[in-house]
Amino acid sequence: MIHGIRIILKITIIGSGNAGLSHAAMIAKQGHLVTIVKTTRLMYEDSFDVLSQTKQIEYEKDSDKGVVSIEKATRDIPDAVSQADVILILTQSIAHENLSELISPHLRSGQILLVSPGYAGSFYFSTKCKGKGVVFAEGESLPFDSRITAPGKVSICFENIRNPIGVFPSEKTEETLKRLQEIIPRFTARQNVLESAFHNPNLIVHTVGAIMSVARIEHSKGEFWMYRESFTPTIMKLVGDLDSEKKAILEYFELPTQSFAESFQFRTYDDLSADPMEALRHYAQYGSPKGPVDAQTRYITEDVPMGLCFLSSIGRKANIPTPVCDALIAIASSMHQKDYYAEGRTLGQLGIDHYSVGELKNILKKGFPPNA
C-alpha cells in the first residue's frame, strides 16, 4: 500500500498442492490477480481440473469461510511467469533445479521470485538470471499449514505469527520486503538468503527425528507421532550438537545464531520472552502431524540431500567441522542405498563453489559481479 492506495499485483504461483492453494486463496482474497501453474501430473490432478474450470477456490480458515476467484489455472509456464509481478515457488525443494530450467528464461527485470521453503534454492534461479534485474527471496518455512480437503477446496489449519524471508541480493531487502508484504503482511526480514536457509526447522528436526526413529517408524506401520515420541533427552543432545554446527557456520558468516527452537518460536509465537522449548513442546502435543509412515519419508529423502548436504558443503568451504551432520548424511545414505551427498544440494551443484568465502559474502549482499 502506497499513500493509502492498495496496489493490485499479478501473482503467479508455481505449485497447485496444499501450499499453492492456501497461498492463492489468501492472496486472491486481498484483491490481487492470482495465476496458479501446475508443472507435473503427479498429484492433485482432480483439484487442478476444478480450478481450471471454475477459476475459484473454496477456503476455510478458523471461522472464516468463503470462495475467492483467481485469474486462471494453467500449465503455460512462459505466459504465467512473464506477466507476473511476483512469482512464488511453492513446491518441494527437490524440484527447484528443474524448475529453474523451465522458469528462468522467462523472468524479466523488476520481478520478484520467492522460493519457499528455500534451502538456498534461489541460487538455481539467480545463477541463470545474472544481469536480468530480478530480485530473489527465500522463506524458511511456509506461512500456512494447510490441506486440500476436496478438489478446489483448502483448509488452513495454522498461520505463522511471523514469516521471515531472506533477499538476494540483500541490499534490496527493504524495498523487496515492502512489496512482498503487499501479498503476505506477516513477512519479516532475515539478513540474507543464507540465514533463511539455515533457519528452516526441517534441517534439524525432520532429519534427526526421522533417521533416529526409523525402526519405530517401520515397526508401528503408521501409528507414529514423531514430534511426540522421538525427541527424548538423549536425542535432544544430538539435536543440540547438530544445531551447534549450524550456528557455527552462521557465526562465521556474521549472521545471527538463533537456535532452531528460537527460530521456531519467532515464527509461531507472539510472546518471544517465553521458553523456546516450551513452544516446541506445545506444538508437539497439540499441533504436530501424525507420521512419518515409512522410511522413504520426505523428512529424509528431501531434508537430508537438500538441507544437511548444503550445511555440510558450506562447512567444508569454510573449514568448519560438521561431524554430526556428516554422520546423519552417511546413515541416511546407507539406509536408502544411495549417495545423498553426491546427489544433494551443494555449492558445486548450485554453481557457486568456485567463489571464495569472502566472495560469497559479498555476492550475498550485492549479487553476482558483472560477467561472473
pLDDT values of the chain reduced to their tens digit, one per residue, 372 residues: 555 567 899 999 999 999 999 999 999 999 999 999 999 888 899 999 999 999 999 999 989 999 999 999 999 999 999 999 999 999 999 999 999 999 999 999 999 999 999 999 999 999 999 999 999 999 999 999 899 999 999 999 889 999 999 999 999 999 999 999 999 999 999 999 999 999 999 999 999 999 999 999 999 998 999 999 999 999 999 999 999 999 999 999 999 999 999 999 999 888 888 888 888 888 888 778 899 999 999 999 999 999 999 999 999 999 999 999 999 999 999 999 999 999 999 999 999 999 999 999 999 999 998 776
Grid coordinates representing 359? 566472495
Instruction: Give the model's pLDDT for residue 220.
Output: 95
Instruction: Give the model's pLDDT for residue 3.
Output: 52
CATH of the domain at 296: 1.10.1040.10
Q: 163 with 89, same domain?
A: yes
Residue 234 CB contacts under 8 Å (≥ 6 apart), including other chains? none
The residue out of 177, 197, 217 marking a domain boundary is 197
Q: 143 with 284, same domain?
A: no
The residue out of 146, 179, 197 marking a domain boundary is 197
- State the residue for C-alpha cell 553476482: 368
Q: 128 with 255, same domain?
A: no
Instruction: Give the model's pLDDT for residue 370.
Output: 74
Q: 180 with 96, same domain?
A: yes
Q: 165 with 255, same domain?
A: no
CA angle 345, 249, 161 (to 5 degrees): 80
DSSP secondary structure, 33-54, as one string? EEEEE---SSS-HHHHHHHHHH
User: How many CA atoms within 13 Å lie on the side-chain side of 139?
Assistant: 27
The residue out of 163, 197, 231 marking a domain boundary is 197
Chain mean position to CA 181? 17
CATH of the domain at 122: 3.40.50.720
Q: 270 with 351, same domain?
A: yes
Q: Please tell me the pTM assigned to this model.
A: 0.94
Grid coordinates representing 271? 510472546
Q: 334 with 316, same domain?
A: yes
Instruction: Give the model's pLDDT for residue 4.
Output: 58
328, 242 contact by CB (below 8 A):
yes
CA distance 150 to 172: 40
CA distance 233 to 331: 21
Q: 215 with 139, same domain?
A: no
118, 109 contact by CB (below 8 A):
no
Residue 104 forms part of a structural domain: yes
Q: 351 with 265, same domain?
A: yes
Torsion (CA) 192, 197, 201, 206 in degrees, nearest 10: 180
Q: 263 with 121, same domain?
A: no
Helix (H) or strand (E) holding 10: strand 10-14
Domain interval for residue 31: 10-197
Residue 344 forms part of a structural domain: yes
How many domains would you assign to the chain?
Answer: 2
Instruction: Give the model's pLDDT for residue 43.
Output: 85
Residue 372 forms part of a structural domain: no
User: How many CA atoms within 13 Å lie on the side-chain side of 326?
Assistant: 9
